[in-house]
Amino acid sequence: MIRSDKDILAVLTSSMDACAIYDSADLHISYANTSMLKLWNCDQQAIGQHLEDCMQREELLPYIPLLKEAWRYGKKQVAKKIQVRLQSEVQSALIDDYTFEYYPLLNEKGGNLRYISANDSDSRK
């Protein structure tokens, strides 16, 4: 049973998927795990910024409006087979396909609390 925000953060921190929590409609980043920061090509300094201000991957910028739409309408949004070029210590560039899923989290009154953006690499399925 999830009893607090700390429980949610513990799950997200241990997730192999890239996860982030935004706490406003203008996508203020309140949390991002290491996998998400790597996907964005950012470091911990992204926390506390707006997603559009710190996003380092141009190929992901077109999906920000989809996340904003999920926030506005309170419904899950999905974008599949998004190709992202990741740098690797072993290879100069690795292209991987991702599925982005944007989920609403609601507070006890049914209002917007924050949203999670998570992705799965299709190659792991």
Looking at this protein, which amino acid is placed at residue 34? T
**β-pair type (112-121, 18-22):** antiparallel
Maximum Cα interatomic distance, the chain, rounded to a whole number of Å? 49
DSSP bridge partners of 115: 22, 104
- Taking residues 90-99, what's their average pLDDT? 70
Q: Which distant-in-sequence residues (6+ apart) come within 8 Å of 2 by Cβ?
A: 8, 11
pLDDT digits (tens, 9 = 90+) for 36-92: 998 899 999 999 999 999 988 888 888 899 888 888 888 888 888 887 877 655 555
pLDDT, greater one: 77 or 115: 77
Q: Are 54 and 42 in contact (CB under 8 A)?
A: yes
Global confidence as pTM: 0.79
Tokens of 38: 């790597």
